[in-house]
Chains A and B, each alone.
Chain A
Amino acid sequence: MEELLKVENLEKHYQGARVPGTKKEVTALRGVSFSICARSTLALVGESGSGKSTLALCIACLERPTSGSIIFRGEEIAARPEEEQRGVRPKIQLVFQDPARSLNPRFSALEIVTEPLLVQGRSNKREREDKARALLAQVGIPQQKALHKADEFSGGQRQRLAIARALALEPKLLILDEALSALDCSVQAQISNLLLELQSLLGLTYLFITHDLAMAGHLADEIAVMEQGKIVELGPVEKVLRSPEQKVTQRLIMATPRLTDAADGLVVA
């Protein structure tokens, strides 16, 4: 299968100024390498502070890696200057964890979804609105609510809005940074089904960052486990979850609460 994204030896150091009280450097990523095939889903799991979010930001070109390369559709994008990156940005979109913070509460649903089109200078107002309304329908937001302000929606609906916004520029790669973690369980199920639908409908590739292994197992084809800025285990999801090699993976699996035995066959010995 075609490789959509390839990350090689990515490193990211932060100067001490980011960490209050110390002058030390903080290393968020140490030599991370992996690749994702088109139309598949890679789940990235790990505990807090393992570097998952930093990786997401780097791939989305919101942070610059200190060294290493990010190859998207055969082209290196990490080292490019900002203006050139702007061309690539539409193809890689990010959905954040907390929709209460990632959506401007003063904006209406329509404004939120048309914003990427507006910013990229695409088409005219009427076309943008039509496209936005189509997206809203696709993610399941009723049309009457299109002009409501973002803070009038529930958590699940807001995340749908965030997804609709992310889809506006027709991306190839969608990075979901703990996108389901802030939602209620039942809502999580709805949204994850929506994501699966959209993936087959639009041919999307997902990088799904989570600390919830059950969700990872449900959604992903491959899984990568991160610890302290490195990928310590990488492989097809069933293999990793059935026979984890690394201690940290085992710990994560053991820590996952389960109400019933895995309906989808994820039993760990």
Chain B
Amino acid sequence: MIQRRGLKRWLLALAALHGVVACAGFLAPYDPAEQDRERPYLPPMKIHLVDRKGVHHLRPFFYAVRLRDGSFDQFEESTGQPLPLQFFMTGARYRLLGLVPTRLHLFGAPTSRIHLLGSDAYGRDQLSRILYGGQISLLAGLLGAGLTLFLGVLVGATAGYYGGWRDGLFMRLAELFAALPWLYLLFALRAFLPLAVSPVRAFFLIILVIGAVGWARPARLVRGVVLSARERDFVRAARGFGATDGYLLRRHILPETSSVILTQAAILVPQFVLAEMTLSFLGLGVPEPVPTWGNLLASLQQYSVLLSYWWMYVPALAIVPFFLGYLGLASTLHQDAGIGKIERTSSWNSW
């Protein structure tokens, strides 16, 4: 229970991160589909508090951007008027948390477009796209993990509780799935499903694919827990008063699997978000124009982008704090379960 505090900290951090993404509509200055074809690939714009003359401004501001002399695709800050940011301004319509329609945004610029993280080939604001993209990617990861865990528990509990041919069959299958390189499996499955589908269908398709591939490991872990729980005396006792299999599973055995399931969830969610990113990056996932962290990186496959437009890499970094949070959570949960005793000092050095 000493780990409770550590656990709370990680959960809080993750909640905050997810909260930021959930409020994408509010935090993003623009609609992710809003284009500005005249000025593609704008670099990130800096926010200033002190202008060129050394005057302090109360409101943060930025300078408009214009083409550099002699170049047709390089931009720089213009020397015009400082353009102040406006906070809590009205902008594009969206639904807060998917429910409340509103037009309130945290910040924006009334006259010129502000791109804190630059813009892409169509002039769309990267910051907005990253925020909205996070919603899709994270949701795909969460739902995929949910599906996998559901399948894993189903298979593992059946195999562990009933044993016999069911156990043999499922565990052979699990061995097969676990032994194959999962990315290849993912691809193989994705390969044969329709490629050119609408973003919504693609989204659900990917969740299905990701979820269907990763069930083997959770299934094996759950099976182990169920096998040992089945032999516990209190289960026998309950059977002694005539409890049915369903009751035993529901009340006694499955609750024992909760810690395994939670730890697996903490490990699988980031992996599955990454899986979505990989698929979308390669063009096998959610297609344009819906932004996901994966397809936001797709432009990096072009040499010119790699060379000149480094800010197109930033969406890749968005997942890092989530990875940190989930892995931290997983390791805390793991330690809670009593594994990780290596951390105590060893006696090797006292010899």
Binding site for B on A (CB under 8 A): 60-62, 86, 89-90, 93-94, 96, 98, 101-104, 106, 115-116, 119-120, 162, 165, 168-169
State whether A94 and B237 are in contact (beta carbons under 8 Å apart), knowing that A104-B252, A119-B247 are contacts in the complex: yes
Q: Are A169 and B239 in contact (CB under 8 A)?
A: no
With CB as the reference atom, state the residue of chain B lying closest to A87.
B242
- For the complex, give the distance between the alpha carbons of A90 and B252 in Å: 20
Q: Are A62 and B234 in contact (CB under 8 A)?
A: no
**Separation in Å of the B68 CB from the closest CB of chain A?**
68
- For the complex, give the distance between the alpha carbons of A168 and B252 in Å: 19
Between-chain CB contacts (< 8 Å), 11 pairs: A61-B240, A62-B236, A90-B242, A93-B241, A94-B237, A96-B233, A101-B234, A102-B233, A115-B241, A119-B242, A119-B247
- For the complex, give the distance between the alpha carbons of A116 and B234 in Å: 12
Residues of A within 8 A of B241 (CB): 89-90, 93, 115-116, 119-120, 168-169
- For the complex, give the distance between the alpha carbons of A86 and B242 in Å: 5
B238 lies within 8 A of chain A by Cβ: yes
B168 lies within 8 A of chain A by Cβ: no
- Which 5 interchain pairs have the tightest Cβ spacing? A116-B241, A102-B233, A86-B242, A101-B233, A104-B234
Q: Are A119 and B233 in contact (CB under 8 A)?
A: no
Of the candidates B232, B240, B243, B244, the one having the most CB atoms from chain A within 10 angstroms of its own CB is: B240
Q: Are A119 and B238 in contact (CB under 8 A)?
A: yes
- For the complex, give the distance between the alpha carbons of A96 and B127 in Å: 64
CB within 8 A of A93: which of B233, B236, B240, B244? B240
Q: Are A89 and B234 in contact (CB under 8 A)?
A: no
Q: Are B234 and A102 in contact (CB under 8 A)?
A: yes
B255 lies within 8 A of chain A by Cβ: yes
Residues of B within 8 A of A168 (CB): 241
- For the complex, give the distance between the alpha carbons of A223 and B241 in Å: 27
Q: Are B242 and A89 in contact (CB under 8 A)?
A: yes
Q: Are B233 and A62 in contact (CB under 8 A)?
A: no
CB within 8 A of A62: which of B239, B244, B255? B239
**Separation in Å of the B243 CB from the closest CB of chain A?**
4
- For the complex, give the distance between the alpha carbons of A162 and B237 in Å: 10
Q: On chain B, which size bracket covers the interface?
A: 10 to 19
- For the complex, give the distance between the alpha carbons of A48 and B247 in Å: 33
**Separation in Å of the B260 CB from the closest CB of chain A?**
15
- Give the interface SS of chain B, mostly helix, strand, loop or mixed: helix
**Separation in Å of the A65 CB from the closest CB of chain B?**
16
Residues of A within 8 A of B255 (CB): 106
Residues of B within 8 A of A119 (CB): 238, 241-244, 247
With CB as the reference atom, state the residue of chain B lying closest to A104.
B234
**Separation in Å of the B248 CB from the closest CB of chain A?**
9
Of the candidates B233, B234, B239, B243, the one having the most CB atoms from chain A within 10 angstroms of its own CB is: B234
- For the complex, give the distance between the alpha carbons of A67 and B232 in Å: 26
Residues of A within 8 A of B239 (CB): 62
With CB as the reference atom, state the residue of chain A lying closest to B234.
A104
Q: Are A101 and B243 in contact (CB under 8 A)?
A: no
With CB as the reference atom, state the residue of chain A lying closest to B244.
A119
- For the complex, give the distance between the alpha carbons of A162 and B238 in Å: 12
Residues of A within 8 A of B247 (CB): 119
State whether A60 and B240 are in contact (beta carbons under 8 Å apart), knowing that A98-B233, A101-B233, A103-B234 are contacts in the complex: yes
Residues of B within 8 A of A89 (CB): 240-242
- For the complex, give the distance between the alpha carbons of A116 and B232 in Å: 17
With CB as the reference atom, state the residue of chain A lying closest to B235.
A104
CB neighbors of A among B241-288 (8 A): 241-244, 247, 252, 255
Residues of A within 8 A of B243 (CB): 119
Residues of A within 8 A of B237 (CB): 94, 96, 102-103, 162, 165
With CB as the reference atom, state the residue of chain B lying closest to A117.
B241
CB neighbors of A among B79-95 (8 A): none
State whether A115 and B242 are in contact (beta carbons under 8 Å apart), knowing that A101-B232, A102-B233 are contacts in the complex: no
- For the complex, give the distance between the alpha carbons of A149 and B225 in Å: 22
With CB as the reference atom, state the residue of chain A lying closest to B237.
A102
Q: Are A120 and B234 in contact (CB under 8 A)?
A: no
State whether A115 and B232 are in contact (beta carbons under 8 Å apart), knowing that A104-B252, A106-B255 are contacts in the complex: no
Besides A61-B240, A162-B237, A168-B241, 18 other A-B contacts (C-beta < 8 A): A86-B242, A89-B240, A89-B242, A90-B242, A94-B237, A94-B240, A96-B237, A101-B232, A101-B234, A102-B234, A103-B234, A103-B237, A104-B234, A104-B252, A119-B238, A119-B241, A119-B243, A169-B241
With CB as the reference atom, state the residue of chain B lying closest to A97.
B233
Residues of A within 8 A of B232 (CB): 101
- For the complex, give the distance between the alpha carbons of A96 and B234 in Å: 9
